[in-house]
Structures are given as C-alpha cells and as structure tokens.
C-alpha cells in the first residue's frame, strides 16, 4: 500500500516555523516511504482565507525545496462536504442545535461553577421533529453537531504510542455553522477519506481532534488512518512557543538570509533523538528520517540556532552552489577567503566591497604604514605574500602580534575583523593595497 500523506495549511497567513515543521515532517515521511504527498489548502473559512496567502504557501514550499504529488483546494469541494453532512444526518449522527453563542456561554459558565467540565449538554437532542421544523420555518438557522458515540477512542500513535480518549469528555462538535459553512473537523475527514490518506502527522494540539475525527471516519464508512502527533515546540526559555517565535514566517527568515537547508536541517530533527547538525542536501535528511525518532518531550527552539546552522552552511557550501548569488566577478578564491566569516550569503557583499569597492582606511600611525608599504613584496601578490610581508615588517619594526597585524588590517579593509588577510591580500592586489596604506580611499 502506497502511503498517502497530506499537508493541510489554512491560507490565513504566511507559513511560519510551526506549520513548516508539519510540512517538512510529512514530506520526509512521504519521500522516505515512497509515498505521495498532497498539498491541501484548507480554505473553507472564506472570510479569513485569501488566494494571496494560498499562493504564498506554494511559493514558500517551493523555496524550501518541498514538492507535492497531489493538490486539492477545499473551497472547490463544498458539495462533497454537503453530501457527507446529508449522509450523517440520514444516519442520525448530525443534529440541529438552536442555542445562541450567548446561551452556550452561559451553559459553559454554569457547568464550570458547579465543578463540571463544560461539555455540551445535548439539550438539542430533546427537540421533537415538530419543534425543529417550526423553528426552521420561523427562519432560525441551526448549527449542526456530530453525535459522538460513548466509549473510548483508542489508537496506536506513531509518536505517542497507545492513546485513549473518553468520548464522554468531549462535546459533540459543531460540523456545520449556522450559515451552512462546513467546519474543518468535517471537511478534513471527508477529504482524508476521499483522497485515501493513510497517515496523518500533525502537532499534539490535534490529539482531541483525532478522537472526534476517528469517530467521524467510521461514521462515514471509512477506517481511520494511522496517526502521529509530535510534541509542539517550546521557546528557548522552555515555555510554550511564543507568538513571536512561533509566528516567525518563512518569508521573514528568507529576507533575513536564512537558507532553506538551515531551516530543513533544524526542523527535520527538532524533537527527535538525532543531533541537530547542518545538512547540505535534503537527500541525507530523507535517509535519516524515521517517525519513531520523534519523542514525547517538548523540543526547545531558539532562533539563534538557525543563524548558527546558517553560518555553518556558508562554511560548507562549495563555490558552484553559491556563484549565481554572489556579486558578478566573484571568484572561487574570493568565496574560499570569505565563507568562514559569513552568517548569511548577503554578508559576502561587505567583503566584496573590501576587494572591489572603495574602502576608507583607518590610519592611526601613518609612519608605520609607510614603512610597511616599502616592504610589500613586488609583483603579483599570492597566498604566501602576507607571510613574507609581515615577516619583513616585523623584522624592520620589531612589532609583532596585534600591534603588527591590526594597523595593517584597519588600513587594508577599514575594519578590525574579517577573513584571513593572507587570502584577502592577493584579491585586494598590490596597487590598491599601497593606496590604502597611504590612507587613500581605494
């Protein structure tokens, strides 16, 4: 049986770290198992969903390098949900409720004040067919609730192991709103049945949904798929992932220069027994993926970790992989000189300017620099020039260490830190170096 998975975002905003993780895990599962992945746009909420967000989700996934084999948009499928609702009604599993939101809130408060869980009391089940007819005829529009079967819902969760939930602890969920809009609980199951989804992997915030949806699968005549619920990410502080961290969008990260492989390397492993390390290619992540490696404890996420991974990635990427994104004219020698000093690819520009652009030399001791200039080796500078040069300047001045190197760096690059000068010097070249040692912007 070919596994069929789905990633089902609601297009009410940009993809963020939380739902990107779900996308990555489902994608890796599909690719590892030779299965198929569906991208399903959960846009039944027509007020909050936008076509622009749906399009951005596709762009973001493509940028990450995640593809999909099947595609569905829930707003194209309202007739399917209506048909399923009819079947549930005919089976006596969907019943109309006329309580207003205010009445329901009052019931909730009352239950809580009596120390009872705020579970819907099924008062609507006591309405006679006549009463229902009259209220409908009078123009009242009911919500429709799914009648849960009493008893325990149990499944063997791919991450959490055996899970049991008592249906008595849950309210009969509303599947259809008063304005006839089907809710996610229903549309999701209808699609999972119709597209023969075999594995649903999502966050543990969906565990209660799974209990309800398992009954819904059965009510619609289908066996529930295999479920896996991974632990949600916590902030570095250990608390629940804050809105701020949790809502960091892929777009923000991309604008910030974080590479897809840094994000994939982190999110593929977060919460698993594997170490989090930079991977330069997605193939290895597929190879190492196993849903059983996900644990139950809450993984912590510090966005700084993404920057560390990104810096490591810069270090490892060969010139061919980045050439197209470097300034025109940049060579492999340039890349080798600077990549160890980059947090993000865009930082290379600063060093390209040091080589090709006008640097404002920082000159504290012009006499020393004038002397140093006299010792700069003749001819074309190469990898050994820096050593030869500083050796000569040291012998001539008695300076060593920082006292020797820092004034040269400040004059040649305008800043007190950066890539090895042994590599930069040949790129800067003799003439430009001499001008900078004289204090001229060059």
- CA 256 to CA 307: how far, in whole Å? 10
- Give, to the nearest 10 degrees, the angle between helix 366-375 and helix 430-437: 160
> Which region holds residue 203: left if phi is over 0, alpha if psi is between -120 and 50, else beta?
beta
Looking at the Cβ atoms of 9 and 407, the one nearer to ligand GLU is 9
Give whichever of 59 and 388 is closer to ligand GLU, judged by the CB atom.
59
> Which residues touch 92 (CB under 8 Å, ≥6 apart)?
147
Residue (188 or 298) nearer to ligand GLU, CB = 188
Tell the smallest beta-carbon distance from residue 37 to ligand GLU (Å).
Answer: 13
**Pairwise CA distance, residues 136 & 174, whole Å:** 18
Closest contact distance (angstroms) between CB of 213 and ligand GLU is: 8
Closer to ligand GLU by CB, 195 or 319: give it: 195
**Least distance from C-beta 263 to ligand GLU, angstroms?**
19
* Minimal distance, residue 202 CB to ligand GLU, in Å: 4
Euclidean distance between CA atoms 385 and 391, whole angstroms: 10
Q: What are phi and psi of 400, to 5 degrees?
A: -150, 170
Judged by beta carbon, residue 97 or residue 250, the one nearer ligand GLU is 250
Tell me how long the chain is: 442
Q: How far is the CB of 98 from ligand GLU (least distance, A)?
A: 28
Given a contact cutoff of 8 angstroms between Cβ atoms, the answer to whether 377 and 360 are in contact is: no
Whole-number Å distance between alpha carbons of 49 and 344: 33
Q: Is 114 helix (H, G, I), strand (E, B) or coil?
A: coil
Q: How far is the CB of 384 from ligand GLU (least distance, A)?
A: 59
Taking the complex as a whole, how short is the minimal distance between the CB of residue 10 and ligand GLU, in angstroms? 4
Which of 81/386 has CB closer to ligand GLU?
Answer: 81
Q: Which CB, 42 or 259, lies closer to ligand GLU?
A: 42
- Binding site residues, ligand GLU, CB under 6 A: 8-10, 42, 184, 188, 202, 206
Distances, alpha carbon 416 to alpha carbons 228, 399, 407, in Å = 52, 18, 8
CB of 203 to ligand GLU, least distance (A): 8
Count other C-beta atoms under 10 Å from residue 70's C-beta. 14
Q: Are 202 and 226 in contact (CB under 8 A)?
A: no
Give the DSSP letter string of 34-103.
T-EEEEEE----TTT--HHHHHHHHHHHHHHT---SEEEEGGG-HHHHHHHHHHHHHTT-EEEE---HHH
Q: E strands within 349-399? A: none
Residue 267 CB contacts under 8 Å (≥ 6 apart), including other chains: 17, 20, 21, 24, 25
**Terminal C-alpha separation, the chain:** 67
> Which residue's CB is nearer to ligand GLU, number 15 or number 234?
15
Q: Compute the distance between CA of residue 373 and CA of residue 331 in angstroms, rounded to an integer.
A: 26
With CB atoms as reference, the residue minimizing the distance to ligand GLU is: 42
CA distances to 2, 161, 190, 247 from 155, in Å? 21, 8, 20, 31
Q: Which is nearer to ligand GLU, 51 or 125 (CB)?
A: 51
Q: How far is the CB of 91 from ligand GLU (least distance, A)?
A: 23
Residue among 246 and 377 whose Cβ is closer to ligand GLU? 246
Q: Nearer Cβ to ligand GLU, position 25 or 412? A: 25
Residue 87: CB minimum distance to ligand GLU, A: 21
Smallest gap from residue 386 Cβ to ligand GLU (A): 56
263 closest CA partner among 298, 307, 294: 307
């Amino acid at each position: 049986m070919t596994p069929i998975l789905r990633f089902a975002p609601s297009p009410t905003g940009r993809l963020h770290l939380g739902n990107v993780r779900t996308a990555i895990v489902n994608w890796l599962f599909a690719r590892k198992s030779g299965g198929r992945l569906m991208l399903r746009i959960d846009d039944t909420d027509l007020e909050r969903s936008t076509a622009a967000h749906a399009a951005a989700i596709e762009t973001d996934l493509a940028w990450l390098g995640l593809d999909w084999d099947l595609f569905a948009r829930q707003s194209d499928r309202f007739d399917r949900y209506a048909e399923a609702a009819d079947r549930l009604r005919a089976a006596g599993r969907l019943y109309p409720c006329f309580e207003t939101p205010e009445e329901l809130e009052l019931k909730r408060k009352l239950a809580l004040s009596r120390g009872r869980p705020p579970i819907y009391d099924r008062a609507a089940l006591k309405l006679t067919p006549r009463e229902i007819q009259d209220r409908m005829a009078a123009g009242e529009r009911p919500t429709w609730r799914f009648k849960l079967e009493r008893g325990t819902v149990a499944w063997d969760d791919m991450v959490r192991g055996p899970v049991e939930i008592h249906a008595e602890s849950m309210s009969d969920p509303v599947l259809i709103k008063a304005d006839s809009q089907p809710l996610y609980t229903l549309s999701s199951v209808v699609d999972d049945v119709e597209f023969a989804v075999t594995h649903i992997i999502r966050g543990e915030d969906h565990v209660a949904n799974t209990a309800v949806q398992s009954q819904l699968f059965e009510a619609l005549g289908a066996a529930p798929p295999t479920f896996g619920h991974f632990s949600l990410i916590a902030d570095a502080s250990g608390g629940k992932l804050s809105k701020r961290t949790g809502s960091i969008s892929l777009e923000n990260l991309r604008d910030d220069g974080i590479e897809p492989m840094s994000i994939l390397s982190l999110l593929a492993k977060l919460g698993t027994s594997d170490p989090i390390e930079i991977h330069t290619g997605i193939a290895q992540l597929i190879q190492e993926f196993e849903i059983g490696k996900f644990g139950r404890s809450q993984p912590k996420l510090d966005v700084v970790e993404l920057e560390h991974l990104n810096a490591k990635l810069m270090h490892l990427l060969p010139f061919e992989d980045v050439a197209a994104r470097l300034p025109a004219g940049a060579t492999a020698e340039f890349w080798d000189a600077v990549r160890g000093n980059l947090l993000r690819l865009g930082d290379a520009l600063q060093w390209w300017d040091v080589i090709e652009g006008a640097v404002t030399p920082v000159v504290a001791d012009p006499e020393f620099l004038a002397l140093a200039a006299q010792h700069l080796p003749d001819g074309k500078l190469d990898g050994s020039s820096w050593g030869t040069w500083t050796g000569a300047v040291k012998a001539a001045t008695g300076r060593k260490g920082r006292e020797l190197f820092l004034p040269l760096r400040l004059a040649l690059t305008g800043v007190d830190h950066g890539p090895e000068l042994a590599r930069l010097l040949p790129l800067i070249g003799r003439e430009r170096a001499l001008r900078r040692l004289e204090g001229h912007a060059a």
